[in-house]
Homo-oligomer: A and B are copies of this chain.
């Protein structure tokens, strides 16, 4: 489905953020990059690390996380193919959190300098990249709301809505079903719950016929019901841009 050999997934994504010209598209495709493979649970970026490359997912899933002093982990976002996992580091120059692969990942490592040269030279590409970092921020805001004020059922429903929505948008769905390699422990760390309670809550969503979730595969059986359960409104994803 998605091309994993060049940066065309990025062109497609950024085309939705700004009105790119053919030259802009060509310039993005001309970005230098090296391909890099990561096994399951590998660290792609570490907190405190200086940035040399920005990492785009060609294949696989990744997530960002922070560790607390007591060893607790909070997952901050999930990332799917065609997304950068650390775009802000290209501008800030240093990572303030960790990024890990969720399963086997194929990444395109784009040198920070080449990326910054490109966006400095091309204002429309710059706008697209800036919008990308701002949509990231909008998602973080929604996650604050999610873990701060929703109960366990809504939290999980909301998270599943978001992921299904984003997966659908990149064409990763096969008729309402998605590859979904998240463990319940990872869902727990993303929603601020425990794995045990996540399990019970997922059962409740299944029992109500909203989702089907088994071994690496998610199907949304009742979109309307899941949206309502999760109090989901996609405005924050700025899809229409």
Contacts and interface: CB of A to CB of B under 8 A. Distances in A.
Interface residues of A, number: 45
Interface of A: 47-48, 64, 66, 68-70, 72-74, 76, 88, 91-92, 94, 96-97, 120, 123, 127, 130-131, 133-138, 140-145, 147-150, 191-192, 231, 235-236, 238, 241
Nearest to A94: B238
Identical chains bound together, number? 2
Nearest to A155: B148
A96 B235 contact: yes
Contact of A235 (B48, B134, B191): B48
Contact of A76 (B72, B134, B145): B145
20 contacts: A47-B235, A48-B235, A66-B141, A66-B145, A68-B145, A74-B144, A74-B148, A74-B149, A76-B144, A76-B145, A88-B134, A92-B135, A92-B138, A97-B141, A120-B123, A130-B133, A137-B137, A140-B140, A147-B147, A149-B192
